Amino acid sequence: MIKKILIVVAVAIAGLLVYAATQPDTFRVERTILVKAPPERIYPLIADFRQWTRWSPYEKLDPALKRTYSGAGSGMGAIYAWDGNKDIGAGRMEIDETTPPSRIRIKLDFFRPFEARNIAEFTMTPEGDATRLGWAMHGPANYLSKLMGTLFDMDQMIGKDFETGLGTLKSLAELPATPAENPQAPPAVSDASHT
């Protein structure tokens, strides 16, 4: 009886290993959201890595996250490195292509808990008086990634984080413009000035 159980388990494991080997050699996760703001309002929130603390769901995984900013202040050549707990690990991002205000491409290197090199892309496409904001990540899928993909739905796991981040970006971009962002806007008047 035990021999039959072991044979069934061995066949199941072999089947899983073969199935994993047949999966695509690349992966892509993408989400979009409609934002009632022009691309010019959204672009700076992504092109400046210092702004990511305001909207990226990954920034909240470790309150003691160590951040290092280098290269350009924002846009092409901006670099952001992080080192954190087991939930966020360590890695580095560099903006290596931009088309302001419609596209940002980021080279994404993970060092810990696993090594990987992927590409993240943000696209901002006008749709009437709104913008279709997209966040995608793609890269190679090695055998271990394929095997993990048979056990965990990577699109669903990462996609949830993308949806959260896009929702927060939407909220920030849809806030009324400040006078610094829109010099034509009248100055804010506080209730205290009315006596």
Sorting pLDDT into bands at 50, 70 and 90, what band is 187?
A: very low
Check which CATH number belongs to the domain holding 72 and give it.
3.30.530.20
pLDDT at 140: 72
Q: State the DSSP string of 15-48.
A: HHHHHHHTS-SEEEEEEEEEESS-HHHHHHHHHS
**Cα→Cα distances 101→17, 19, 82, 143, 182, Å:** 44, 42, 26, 37, 16
By mean pLDDT, which of 8-17, 100-109, 172-181 is the weakest?
A: 8-17
Q: HSE (CB half, 13 Å, CA atoms) of 62?
A: 13
Is pLDDT larger for residue 180 or for residue 130?
130
Residue pair 125/134 in contact (Cβ under 8 Å)? The answer is: yes
Residue 190 has what pLDDT? 37
pLDDT score of 191 more than 50: no
Q: What is the pTM of this model?
A: 0.80
Q: Give residue-wise pLDDT tens across range 115-159.
A: 999 999 999 999 999 999 999 999 876 656 655 666 667 788 899
**Among the residues of 38-189, which ranges form H helices?**
39-47, 143-151, 154-173
In a domain, 192, yes or no: no
Considering the domain boundaries, does residue 167 fall inside one?
A: yes
Asked if residue 24 belongs to a domain, the reply is no
| pLDDT at res. 184 | 43
Instruction: Tell me if 187 is assigned to some domain.
Output: no
Number of domains in the chain: 1
Residue 153, in any domain of the structure? yes
List the domain range (segments joined by +) for residue 165.
Answer: 29-175
67-91 pLDDT, tens per residue?
Answer: 999 999 999 999 999 999 999 999 9
**Residue 169: inside a domain, yes or no?**
yes
Tell me if 190 is assigned to some domain. no
DSSP code at position 78: E
CB atoms near residue 166 (< 10 Å): 21
Select the more confidently predicted residue: 153 or 44.
Answer: 44
